[in-house]
């Protein structure tokens, strides 16, 4: 940058690279427009390394300049909690040591500059040190997570997905059923060609995340989907027919599931109110009505009418939930007032007492949650707090609240925690926080959701559904007969890449219930075809081809290219 005309290309590339790292939108572009990620920062490191190497012959004569700059990097690393580790600081110390002791005079051994040999040795030393740090138990301890080949084989044949697939092969003919459960291993279902409600995908569908935020689901990470947290209505809408729990699990079971098989390691339950893939609605909810509902209300509304994006016609629903009036009791280490909870020491309890309602799912909702470190206890490794909840019926649930400096943080502040279905109304919910401090909130609700009409809702949605369903690569087909005009909902995550044909003619694909696909169908018998093509794939391919041609041209006609060609 001291000679921008001579180094114009490197200066431009450096500015572009820094902008890509600093501007959040660029991080989103480089991550497939899913969420902001700086996973591409290695490109900046590569560019800086190239620039440094390119200028090394000029820089090495000015050891004071190099030492000053390296020392500044050392100080910046000390300020950053993520860099204030042995993994970063020791290699920097090695570099500083080299700059201090290296002789400025040219000395050669067998015709090779001794400083080049020293530099090579230090680079290798850094590589070995960082590798040792990553794999040793005193550092990141990656070896702790390593598995033997036999462990992998055992996991493959003893996992819940293996047990579930074995059961499905023997007892299930419907290819579209999903299963859920406690302690599922994300993506494990794919190993056995089964369908679960859990998956891990770094560029997960953003409509799924919008839905989960709208319903106040408590997933810790934006890229890891862990089922529907035992909510019977959401499981039914996702075509969950089976639930599998390991014997060591004390987790909750959604309403309407009964034991079908008890194996050596797992229990399998079947949903009495299973809704088949491709179910139908008689009516739709408008955007305005949807936006006015809270999380629990949206959940119960979807059992009665479909929320169509862009729909302006109003449609009511039967309200099955009741917000309960509660009193608050704190122990000596906590204080509660309207809008905030002060926790003076670890795991102090706040108890919400109320008169529950029989035969209900019970929800504890806290919205607008914000942690304030009033006791200055937050250290580098404290970037989250655990909120533990237990009910008078013995059900327990833990929620992770992430602070803004947590590397998984994605702005989540609203949580609706389902604390089980009870035939007898609950009497209390006890809440504790693992980290002392002040917890501000906008609202706390205790809600009892009646499931009295739940069987009828499931039966209505299942009455007309897609039949003869066939799943192929990027294509789904089926048939349906309707006695009246209806919306056909397909529990496939919405994407602009999906197109549809009804009776061979193009049909509009609607965004339904925030994250699913839907079609508006007239009365009669219809053949349905859905097919998927990646949006802007052709444009992306053209850009990649042009970039490759430009790279070849630059390599051939640039000064460096000419030197290599000659």
Q: Report the C-alpha gap between 317 and 303 in whole angstroms.
A: 9
Model confidence band, residue 73 (pLDDT cutoffs 50, 70, 90): confident
Structure tokens at 447: 């809600």
Structure tokens at 158: 């003893």
CB 384 within 8 A of CB 403: yes
Segment 496-509 mean pLDDT? 96
- pLDDT surpasses 60 at 222: yes
More reliable by pLDDT, 297 or 150: 297
**HSE-up (13 A, CA, CB side) for residue 470:** 11
Minimal CA–CA distance to 165: which of 188, 149, 198, 183? Answer: 188
Q: b or e along 47-65 (b: 16 or more beta carbons within 10 Å of the residue's beta carbon)? A: beeebeeeeeeeebeeeee
Q: Report the C-alpha gap between 444 and 339 in whole angstroms.
A: 9
Question: What's the maximum distance between 2 C-alpha atoms anywhere in the chain?
Answer: 93
pLDDT, position 102: 59
- pLDDT surpasses 80 at 347: no
Fill in the DSSP letter of residue 201. -
Segment 33-51 mean pLDDT? 80
Minimal CA–CA distance to 233: which of 310, 174, 156, 317? Answer: 317
- pLDDT surpasses 50 at 203: yes
Lowest mean pLDDT among 16-25, 108-117, 241-250: 108-117
Contacts of 224 (CB under 8 A, 6+ apart): 186, 199, 200, 204
Segment 284-313 mean pLDDT? 92
Q: Report the C-alpha gap between 123 and 566 in whole angstroms.
A: 31
Contacts of 423 (CB under 8 A, 6+ apart): 358, 359
Structure tokens at 336: 């509660």
Element (DSSP H or E) covering residue 63: helix 63-79
pLDDT, position 101: 63
Contacts of 338 (CB under 8 A, 6+ apart): none
Q: Report the C-alpha gap between 409 and 405 in whole angstroms.
A: 7
Q: How far is CA 106 from CA 61, 109, 557, in A?
A: 10, 10, 35
Structure tokens at 320: 């099955």
Structure tokens at 349: 């309890």
Tell me the pLDDT tens digit for each residue of 525-562.
999 999 999 888 888 899 999 999 988 888 777 765 55
Average pLDDT across the chain, whole number: 87
Fill in the DSSP letter of residue 142. G
- Top-confidence range, 155-164, 329-338, 417-426: 417-426
DSSP sequence for 460-482: HHHSS--EEEEEETTEEEEEEEE
- pLDDT surpasses 80 at 5: yes
Q: Report the C-alpha gap between 187 and 255 in whole angstroms.
A: 25
Model confidence band, residue 263 (pLDDT cutoffs 50, 70, 90): confident
The proportion of the chain whose per-residue pLDDT surpasses 90, expressed as a percent, equals: 50
Model confidence band, residue 485 (pLDDT cutoffs 50, 70, 90): very high
Structure tokens at 559: 């000064």
Q: How far is CA 230 from CA 191, 209, 218, 227, 444, in A?
A: 24, 18, 12, 8, 21
pLDDT, position 316: 80
pLDDT, position 249: 61
pLDDT, position 380: 57
- pLDDT surpasses 90 at 160: no
Lowest mean pLDDT among 335-349, 371-385, 521-535: 371-385
Tell me the pLDDT tens digit for each residue of 407-448.
788 889 999 999 999 999 999 999 999 989 999 999 999 999
Segment 274-301 mean pLDDT? 94
Model confidence band, residue 564 (pLDDT cutoffs 50, 70, 90): very low
CB 500 within 8 A of CB 530: yes
Model confidence band, residue 170 (pLDDT cutoffs 50, 70, 90): very high
CB 446 within 8 A of CB 374: no
Segment 85-113 mean pLDDT? 70
Q: How far is CA 329 from CA 351, 385, 428, 516, in A?
A: 5, 21, 10, 42
- pLDDT surpasses 80 at 307: yes
């Amino acid at each position: 940058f001291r000679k921008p005309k001579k180094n114009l290309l490197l200066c431009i590339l450096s500015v572009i690279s820094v902008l890509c790292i600093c501007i959040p939108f660029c991080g989103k572009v480089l991550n497939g427009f899913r969420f902001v990620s700086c996973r591409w920062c290695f490109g900046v490191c590569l560019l800086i390394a190239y620039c440094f190497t390119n200028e090394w012959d000029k820089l090495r004569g000015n050891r004071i300049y190099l030492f000053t700059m390296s020392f500044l990097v050392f100080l910046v690393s000390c300020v950053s909690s993520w860099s204030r580790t042995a993994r970063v600081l020791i290699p920097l110390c090695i570099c500083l040591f080299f700059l201090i002791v290296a002789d400025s005079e040219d000395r050669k051994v067998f015709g090779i500059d001794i400083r080049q040999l020293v530099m090579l040795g230090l680079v290798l030393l850094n590589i070995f040190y960082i590798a040792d740090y990553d794999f040793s138990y005193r550092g990141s301890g990656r070896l702790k997570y390593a598995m033997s080949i036999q462990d992998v084989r055992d996991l493959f044949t003893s996992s819940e997905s293996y047990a579930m697939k074995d059961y499905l092969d023997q007892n299930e003919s419907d290819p579209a059923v999903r299963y859920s459960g406690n302690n599922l291993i994300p993506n494990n279902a794919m190993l056995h060609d089964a369908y679960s409600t859990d998956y891990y995908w770094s560029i997960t569908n953003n409509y799924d995340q919008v839905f989960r935020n709208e319903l106040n689901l408590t997933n810790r990470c934006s890229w890891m989907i862990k089922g529907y947290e035992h909510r019977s209505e959401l499981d039914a809408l996702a075509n969950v027919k089976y639930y599998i729990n390991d014997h060591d699990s004390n987790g909750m079971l959604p309403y309407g599931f009964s034991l079908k098989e008890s194996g050596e390691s797992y229990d399998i339950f079947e949903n009495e109110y299973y809704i088949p893939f491709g179910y139908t609605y008689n009516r739709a909810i408008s955007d305005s009505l949807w936006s006015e509902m809270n999380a629990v209300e949206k959940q119960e509304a979807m059992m009665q009418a479909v929320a169509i994006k862009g729909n302006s016609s109003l449609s009511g629903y039967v309200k099955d939930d009741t917000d309960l009036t509660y009193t608050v009791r704190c122990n000596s280490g906590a204080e509660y007032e309207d809008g905030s909870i002060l926790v003076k020491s670890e795991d102090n309890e706040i108890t919400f007492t109320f008169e529950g309602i029989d035969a209900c799912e019970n929800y504890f909702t806290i919205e607008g949650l914000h942690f304030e470190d009033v006791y200055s206890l937050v250290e580098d490794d404290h970037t989250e707090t655990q909120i533990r909840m237990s009910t008078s019926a013995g059900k327990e649930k833990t929620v992770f609240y992430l602070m803004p400096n947590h590397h998984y943080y994605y702005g989540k502040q609203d949580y609706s925690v389902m604390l089980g279905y009870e035939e007898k109304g609950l009497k209390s919910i006890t809440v504790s926080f693992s980290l002392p401090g002040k917890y501000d909130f906008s609202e706390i609700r205790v809600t009892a959701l009646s499931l009295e009409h739940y069987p009828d809702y499931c039966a209505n949605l299942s009455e007309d559904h897609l039949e003869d369903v066939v799943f192929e690569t990027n294509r789904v087909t089926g048939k349906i007969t309707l006695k009246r005009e209806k919306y056909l909902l397909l529990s496939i995550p919405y994407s602009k890449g999906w197109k549809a044909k009804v009776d061979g003619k193009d049909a509009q694909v609607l965004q339904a219930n925030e994250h699913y696909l839907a079609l508006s169908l007239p009365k009669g018998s219809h053949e349905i075809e859905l097919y998927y093509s990646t949006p802007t794939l052709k444009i992306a391919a053209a850009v990649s081809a042009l970039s490759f041609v430009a790279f070849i041209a630059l390599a051939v006609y640039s000064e460096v290219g000419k030197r290599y060609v000659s």
